[in-house]
Structure 1
């Protein structure tokens, strides 16, 4: 069967798996404020204006959180699934599960059925979000790795935007059709993903582990050298994979416990916190519940929905900068700049709401309990502006880097399980925030912004002290960062130009560490690390 060899074409198809997450975010964000949804799943009765109150705040939190709850489980099992079936087939399994979940969700007759459908959707997202970055990272050369893995975040932003406008258009329909149709249509990208993967190569690392060396060699040549099996870079990569497999045969198969051993615990903590902090920025809260925020600022009905959609356009547009420049910027600088800017906008919103806002009438604005605070005039417009600036700060920084960084931290032999673990941390915090933010808006109101502002300050300090630069480095060089004593995170630099020269054919094979030698040095505390 014909196989696609262009890394950008491979990425374009694979990251549809990330787009599924985006579809889910905006399919919920666009409907939770509509009367069709709130009346069909109504638990709060009807107010004096004849408007339905919708699900209770904690129930709505549970409905929203069902997806990240399923994603947490899906991410954990994806490591085992990927090792057994391969990266490509595990993503295809995720696509099938997504279609099943979407069918149940779109046919939901009650809240329980909706929660089950969203949980199944979450299983799919957990698998795809964990394994798509691994799959792409194992195929991409170092100088393009950040760009192509970061495309997962861009796909998420496109999924959010497309689904939001699709859902917005359906709000003009009467009754349950307003939300059933968009929830059913979200199966289409999963179907495209499933069939598109048949024309893509498998990860060369997985093929090597199955002793399918000819196929491994062919994939490396196809992707890195337009089919030239004797290209220096192809031969170097093939030898590195051989060394890795030899090391694994001598050290048995790895388990999740391997990630918590002394030589691995530091990078495990960095990978896990990369995903945790990406949630604690507050971005997904903005995405899921933006209509509540703008409702507090005085926007209602379609005006609210249209204003909310602008942030999704900003999200798509600003992510482009990361795709173009992330390998030159590196990983540390975007994380540090992003944390600084997002903290600024969060504290700004908290200050505006506290200084110029006031409690909403009992029952919330328009009968929505989560809209428990109100602000108007110029301060309200400033809240909206700060919200847009927050999205513009997240999009080229923590958004793509949180997917790019974890696969770069780990050696190949543990990468599948390691990224599954780090991604599961993303989803369990997504679950917690999705569930608790609606009650937070009801109970602590504007103070929720203060909490997220403090999180952004904490992540800045953590990144500066502990997160080393991995951009442009080979797997051996990343390994050396963690095995060489005395290397400070803030002393590490981007090596973009060096990686470009090597991919162009300037590979000095004699000066490269073998993968097995590097791994052995990590195991032997008395051994001195070799220089790359």
Structure 2
């Protein structure tokens, strides 16, 4: 991006001077807010659980026997059908999310997933199992479309980027549970060996349906529906200790109003074509579509859904060893992804993406070499090298493509396009996954290690693309980040109007010292706490 004050010096400094200087863990309301956000974050569990569960089930003789020993296209369909279900729901998901609200969209999606999990767990045939997985994918689309938006629109400003980044990182929480569940149940000499892992897939959806009724709704969605007083109460309760005149609350509230008012100028004509109607929107969609495909076409799909085929190809056929490695890999992935999530505002998105891409290319080329050596010479050392480089490859992948693809997509979209743009992102991921899940088992069976060269070329292309097109967005509010793609004028206009409305000089970076801020917060809290004790 070009220079200028709004770009070189992030305008999120406007709210930095308004933040309560006391640690967030000493604020009980922020603790409760983050617990609500945790409930939203576990939406990612179901998606992560599925890939690891299907990896584990393919290792279990009890499941392969019950499903008629699927191979090739039939196995590809069993893996891909959930994403086909997701694809079917994609066109209507943004209308549900924007129409009935983020909360109700999550409840609707979670309810469908509970129904699908029940049918899947009780399946008596491959057709019943396939239909249930379609329903799970269909419901997941609604929840996965709404949950990251609600997290980003509820979170306390300094917490937003790490928390939204954590959303996709918790993909591995489901993956871990599935991997270790199948590791524990493969010894059960009955169909409960695969039915138990299937039942546990619905656990987060049950928790959400029970508890999410008490979670606050998005202030941005409420303002967009004319419920401004309720939006202000939520912001005040969680971000201002109950004080609706708190400087930070007033700045956030007015910035939301200004951004939505600007978006409403074009909202009457907002449709799917609007996503590509302006240079700024085309820049957004170029990045979003690329991220969707890169996240699935970087070679990770080989391990995510067909780890057993990779193991079989390098001579590791023991079910105990396969399930054990799968379980350890998922724990490793979660740890790296969570660490990377905490660094997104420190290191920056661009640095993390480029580091991730370079690391993935290096370690996947190393996998290719080891795989080839094992296939040609039968070297056991080369086979063990494949396993080592799988771990290193995923470590590199988890630096950016696990934590950032959702948060980066959400933050670069303006409110009026956020649900639709995020739907396009999910749609493209589903397309990429369906192709991978069909093509990978067929290609591995046909050309073996040579198939890895295809992904080596894709990874090299990704580095070039991200170098030229990835835009740095760290340390900005949602409104500032979305406006960044439309030019400096819009960034300055939104922030300046919000600052002018509340009349605080510090909102434009001319704030006082920390002691003065603390005194301001305490004075406001003492004056208004009794008036705003309840939302």
TM bracket (short chain): 0.7 to 0.9
Task: Decide whether the 8 Å contact of 1:297 with 1:384 is kept in 2.
Answer: no
Task: Decide whether the 8 Å contact of 1:19 with 1:160 is kept in 2.
Answer: yes
The match for 1:337 among 355, 358, 362 is 355
The match for 2:233 among 199, 210, 218 is 218
Task: Evaluate the alpha carbon distance shift between residue 3 and residue 324 of structure 1 in structure 2; reply closer, same or farther with a 3 A threshold.
Answer: closer
Task: Decide whether the 8 Å contact of 1:298 with 1:376 is kept in 2.
Answer: no
The match for 1:257 among 247, 256, 273 is 273
1:349 CA drift (Å): 1.4
Is 1:388 aligned to residue 406 of structure 2? Answer: no
Q: Residue in 2 aligned with 1:431?
A: 434
Q: Deviations over 1:89-132 (max 9, x none)?
A: 10111110111111121122222222111111111222222221
The match for 1:25 among 38, 51, 63 is 51
Task: Decide whether the 8 Å contact of 2:180 with 2:323 is kept in 1.
Answer: no
Alignment of 1:38-77 (within 5 A): 38-42=64-68, 54-77=69-92
Q: Deviations over 1:48-87 (max 9, x none)?
A: xxxxxx1121100011000111122333322111011101
Distance 1:406 1:221 in 2: 27
Structure with bigger RCO (C-alpha 8 Å, 6+ apart) = 2
Is 1:99 aligned to residue 114 of structure 2? Answer: yes
Distance 2:32 2:451 in 1: 45
Distance 1:270 1:142 in 2: 24
Distance 2:335 2:510 in 1: 44
Gaps of 5+ in 2: 1-27, 489-503, 512-535
1:380 CA drift (Å): 1.0
1:470 CA drift (Å): 1.0
1:422 CA drift (Å): 1.2
Q: Deviations over 1:9-54 (max 9, x none)?
A: 1221101111111111111111112111111122xxxxxxxxxxx1
Task: Evaluate the alpha carbon distance shift between residue 249 and residue 308 of structure 1 in structure 2; reply closer, same or farther with a 3 A threshold.
Answer: closer
Q: Deviations over 1:164-211 (max 9, x none)?
A: 211221211123221112212322221001222112100011111211
Alignment of 1:174-193 (within 5 A): 174-193=189-208
Distance 1:3 1:140 in 2: 12
Task: Evaluate the alpha carbon distance shift between residue 10 and residue 439 of structure 1 in structure 2; reply closer, same or farther with a 3 A threshold.
Answer: same
Task: Decide whether the 8 Å contact of 2:183 with 2:327 is kept in 1.
Answer: no
1:421 CA drift (Å): 1.2
Distance 1:409 1:163 in 2: 33
Task: Decide whether the 8 Å contact of 1:346 with 1:450 is kept in 2.
Answer: no
Q: Residue in 2 aligned with 1:495?
A: none
Task: Evaluate the alpha carbon distance shift between residue 252 and residue 319 of structure 1 in structure 2; reply closer, same or farther with a 3 A threshold.
Answer: closer
1:312 CA drift (Å): 0.7
* TM-score using structure 1 length: 0.83
Q: Residue in 1 aligned with 2:508?
A: 508
Q: Residue in 2 aligned with 1:301?
A: 319
Task: Evaluate the alpha carbon distance shift between residue 139 and residue 505 of structure 1 in structure 2; reply closer, same or farther with a 3 A threshold.
Answer: farther
Length, aligned pairs only: 468
**3-state DSSP of counterpart to 1:396:** helix
The match for 2:297 among 275, 280, 288 is 280
Distance 2:91 2:302 in 1: 23
1:505 CA drift (Å): 9.9
1:481 CA drift (Å): 3.1
The match for 2:185 among 165, 170, 184 is 170
**3-state DSSP of counterpart to 2:296:** helix
Q: Residue in 1 aligned with 2:93?
A: 78
Q: CA RMSD in A?
A: 2.4
Q: Residue in 1 aligned with 2:340?
A: 322
Q: Deviations over 1:229-286 (max 9, x none)?
A: 1122211121122223433544344222211102412111211211211111222331
**Worse-superposed segment, 464-473 or 322-331:** 322-331
**Worse-superposed segment, 238-247 or 274-283:** 238-247
